[in-house]
Amino acid sequence: MNSLEFSSLYQLTMARFRLFLREPEAIFWIFVFPILLAVGLGIAFRNRPPDVLPVAATTMQLTQALNTDKSLSAVTMDEAAGFHKLATGDILLLVVQTPNGVTYQFDDTNPDARTARLLADHAVQAAEGQHNAVPVDNKLVHEKGARYIDFVVPGLLGMNLMGSAIWGLGFAIVDARQKNLLKRLVASPMPRWQYLMSFLLSRLVMLVVEVVAFLGFAWLVFGVPFRGSILELAFLCVLISMSFSGLGLLVASRARTTEGVSGLMNVVMLPMWILSGVFFSASRFPAIIQPFVRILPLTAANDALRANMLQGTAITHLIAPVVVLLVWLTIPFAISLRIFRWR
Amino acid sequence: MADRDANIATISAPTQSYPPAPSPHLKQRLGPSLLLKGVRKAFADVVAVDGLDLQVNRGECFGLLGPNGAGKTTTIEICEGLTAPDDGLVELLGMNWRSNEKELRQRIGIQLQETRFPEKLTVNETLRLFRSFFKRGISVDESIRTAQLEDKRRSRIAGLSGGQKQRLAMACALVGDPELLFLDEPTTGLDPQARRHLWDLIDNLKRAGRTIILTTHYMDEAERLCNRVAIMDHGKIIAMGTPQELIASVGGEHIVEFAIVANGSGNAPVDLTSLTELPDVHAYRVDAGLHQFSVRELHKAVPSIFDALNGMGLQLSEFRTHSATLDDVFLRLTGRNLRDE
């Protein structure tokens, strides 16, 4: 303990730690906010039992036929009333008896309406005695890992690792510069590398708490799967956090005011919030911008985290995202060490 | 040692007995603590420091004095190795910043003009942090005692008064037990009581034999604390010496001030220039109806002034004397008042 007391690296890291823990807002944004977000998204996109589709028919006989399918809920009404209900979205499909047979009225751009059309047609034909040519049997699969919450948890983890690293370094360093504290520190015999290292060390400790709390919550409450190696997942988290720390350092290396650096951090993070597949797959963006999307560190982070957690992919098959992250780790660090403004 | 004794002789602060340096490392090297020769620094097209020569001896408390913008802070930051001069020689403890930065950082203490320490750290935590940067030095407890922050040891910095923050900054400069201490405007912005408190601390440091270099734009502070001062204006030193020497150099160590009762002939200004012909009475100026003379010996000058005024049939409405100050020196040298800036 005594030798630690006189270790400047230890004292610097402890100071970082104390400053972080005494900042309630930071605790909220880093620990509480991602969990709240996961809860919100988990509730909004929870898997519901298959919907019963509301339909209508113009004759009692047709209505009866439709109601034999448990996925349909049919009522009888005349064509005018039915058309009105269709237009207001109260029903998805109107089955009209015509002299020649039946007419289906529905909106073919609505997937639910198309489903209703298929189910209704099957029910109507079956009522008239049509039989399946091939005997069929349904076996229902509700697999964990294929739900939206499973998709979004690794994305939220990546986003949180980005935010905490960039904010943690960027804001604190520029704040110290603005308050003349950086200048005071370099006026002392403090080794400069230790100042920056203290940020990385405290980040590593905080990272454990942050990741374990968030993933533990996702596992306990939503049963999000962990199919890959936990050790490799830990390695990925460290790599991701260090890459974003490099970016945070770069963002903070010249800015003189906290207002200035806040703007810079948003410029850096906003494109990744949108493009890097946090809430929906990054592959939805047009092919022309895919090369750009792929080299963003958050895209690499999210891809690697999802592959590990959801597919159980070994790190040896994640070379591409790991290399992208390593490049993002080294280049910003190297640049910022050269251009860093110490006063 | 001969060198050192010679230095002491030139410093000659009459009211301050000269204490011996206490710890052996202070004596290790002889020669000046700080030596500047022809130091220049320009920012864009502004010359902040214009060919400065300066020597500060061991154990001396040296003041750089001047109005805001005179180049004091640039000068002290050049000495502290925080700003590189464009030209000139800078030597501290016989070393220079280019080849001995690591060792110099261990051996000097620095208080910057304005440092806001992290508000959510406590006094004790901040000092432990700064202590850990130095290979040797005093204990954190001792630095807290020296800065008289014992009651605030566990308080967060956010809860300290301006004077307490300034004393903490001083403690941070002292934890490494520095041979050479730089204080940049240590009392600017403090209330009178906090200033006096800080002056007492600096007195104690002087008594302990540390070499101190401080900047200030308060003339009374320089007079009170410094063995020697350099008055700076527009990047140059315009006068240097002990406060007493500087005050004597402008003629007269005392200032006599009085006002005349207005007589029947209205408020016509009275010209008293003739009084400077009296023995011991020197410069004369009138400022807002207040006649000011600098005089060397009060007990001789005052009676003759009274006699002369009686002879002219003038009556005094106000009369006071004060010792001449560095303010009077600055005014005489530049024609400007320090506090106007």
Residue B150 CB partners (closer than 8 Å, separation 6+): B144
Secondary structure (H, E, C), B148-172:
CCHHHCCCEHHHCCHHHHHHHHHHH
Question: Is pLDDT of B5 > 80?
Answer: no
Tokens coding B308: 């002369």
Residue B213 CB partners (closer than 8 Å, separation 6+): B34, B56, B62, B63, B64, B76, B79, B180, B181, B182, B183
Q: Chain A: nearest CA to B25, how far in angstroms?
A: 18
Q: Report all structural domains of chain B as residue ranges with CATH numbers, in order of start.
A: 2-242 (3.40.50.300), 251-323 (3.30.70)
Residue of A nearest to B133 (CA): A190
pLDDT number for residue B18: 42
Chain A positions touching B82 (Cβ under 8 A) are 183, 186-187, 343
DSSP A118-158: HHHHHHHHHHTT---SS---------TTSSHHHHHHHHHHH
Yes or no: say if A147 and A224 are a contact pair by the CB < 8 Å rule: no
At position B107, the amino acid (one-letter code) is R
Query: Is B80 in Cβ contact with A188 (below 8 Å)?
Result: no
Average of per-residue pLDDT values in chain B: 83
Residue of B nearest to A4 (CA): B132
Task: In whole angstroms, give the CA distance from residue A296 to residue B238.
Answer: 60
State the pLDDT confidence band at B20, using cuts at 50, 70 and 90.
Answer: very low
Tokens coding B324: 């001449």
Of the candidates A92, A82, A258, which has an alpha carbon nearest to the alpha carbon of residue A170? A258
Burial classification of residue B99, based on how many CB atoms lie within 10 Å of its CB (0-12 exposed, 13-18 middle, 19 or more buried): exposed
pLDDT tens-digit readout, B181-236: 999 999 888 888 888 988 998 998 888 889 999 999 888 888 889 999 999 988 99
Query: Is B132 in Cβ contact with A10 (below 8 Å)?
Result: yes
Helix B123-131, helix A8-21: angle, nearest 10: 150
Query: Is B128 in Cβ contact with A188 (below 8 Å)?
Result: no
Q: What is the mean pLDDT of residues A88-94?
A: 90
Residue of B nearest to A175 (CA): B118
State the pLDDT confidence band at B284, using cuts at 50, 70 and 90.
Answer: confident
Alpha-carbon distances, residue A236 vs A33, A259, A274, B9, B231 (angstroms) = 22, 32, 22, 70, 61
Give bridge partners of residue B36 from the DSSP assignment: B54, B90
Best of B112, B133, B139 to substitute, by most chain A Cβ atoms within 10 angstroms, is B133
Task: In whole angstroms, give the CA distance from residue B86 to residue B248.
Answer: 35
Query: Is B133 in Cβ contact with A190 (below 8 Å)?
Result: yes
Question: Is pLDDT of B7 > 50?
Answer: no
pLDDT number for residue B281: 82
Task: In whole angstroms, give the CA distance from residue B192 to residue B199.
Answer: 10
Helix A148-178, helix A8-21: angle, nearest 10: 120
Yes or no: say if B218 and B72 are a contact pair by the CB < 8 Å rule: no
Q: What is the mean pLDDT of residues A24-36?
A: 83
At position A254, the amino acid (one-letter code) is R
pLDDT number for residue A47: 65
Task: In whole angstroms, give the CA distance from residue B141 to residue B23.
Answer: 19
Q: What is the mean pLDDT of residues A188-198?
A: 93
Residue of A nearest to B131 (CA): A6
Residue of B nearest to A189 (CA): B105
Q: Give the count of alpha carbons within 13 A of A197, CB side only.
A: 9
Of the candidates B109, B95, B65, which has an alpha carbon nearest to the alpha carbon of residue B210? B109
Does B176 reach chain A within 8 Å, measured CB to CB? yes
Average of per-residue pLDDT values in chain A: 90
Does B131 reach chain A within 8 Å, measured CB to CB? yes
Max mean pLDDT range (A72-76, A301-305, B291-295): A301-305
Enumerate residues 218 to 277 of chain B having a beta carbon within 8 A of any beta carbon in chain A: none
pLDDT tens-digit readout, B128-186: 999 999 999 999 999 999 888 999 999 999 999 988 999 999 999 999 999 999 999 99
Tokens coding A65: 């036929």
Q: Report all structural domains of chain A as residue ranges with CATH numbers, in order of start.
A: 2-45+144-339 (no CATH), 53-127 (3.40.190.10)
State the pLDDT confidence band at B341, using cuts at 50, 70 and 90.
Answer: very low
Does B118 reach chain A within 8 Å, measured CB to CB? yes
**Size of chain A, expressed as the number of residues it contains:** 343
Question: Is pLDDT of A236 > 60?
Answer: yes
Question: Is pLDDT of B250 > 80?
Answer: no
By DSSP bridging, strand A72-76 and strand A53-57 are parallel
Q: Give the count of alpha carbons within 13 A of A267, CB side only.
A: 9
Residue A91: other Cβ atoms inside 10 A: 25
Chain A positions touching B115 (Cβ under 8 A) are 179-181, 183-184
Does B120 reach chain A within 8 Å, measured CB to CB? yes
Of A12, A186, A187, nearest to B129 by CB-CB distance is A12
User: What DSSP element (H or E) covers A203?
Assistant: helix A192-222
Tokens coding A226: 């962990």
pLDDT number for residue A250: 95
Task: In whole angstroms, give the CA distance from residue B80 to residue B83.
Answer: 8
pLDDT number for residue B22: 45
Question: Is pLDDT of B29 > 80?
Answer: no
Yes or no: say if A230 and A152 are a contact pair by the CB < 8 Å rule: no
Instruction: Map residue B222 onto helix, strand or coil.
Output: helix
Task: In whole angstroms, give the CA distance from residue A19 to residue A72.
Answer: 60
Go through B250-262 and write b for each residue having 16 or more CB atoms within 10 A of its CB, e for each that does not.
Answer: bebbbbbebebee
Yes or no: say if A310 and A147 are a contact pair by the CB < 8 Å rule: no
**Size of chain B, expressed as the number of residues it contains:** 341
Yes or no: say if B240 and B210 are a contact pair by the CB < 8 Å rule: no
pLDDT number for residue A2: 64
Alpha-carbon distances, residue B321 vs A52, B149, B172 (angstroms) = 103, 39, 42
Q: Is the dihedral of CA A72, A75, A77, A83 positive or negative?
A: negative
Query: Is B116 in Cβ contact with A180 (below 8 Å)?
Result: yes
**How large a percentage of chain B has pLDDT more than 70?**
86
Beta strands in chain A (DSSP E): 53-57, 72-76, 93-97, 102-106
Best of B132, B136, B141, B175 to substitute, by most chain A Cβ atoms within 10 angstroms, is B132
pLDDT number for residue B267: 54
Question: Is pLDDT of B26 > 60?
Answer: no
pLDDT tens-digit readout, A99-149: 888 999 999 888 889 999 999 998 888 888 887 788 888 877 666 667 888
Q: Chain B: nearest CA to A245, how far in angstroms?
A: 21
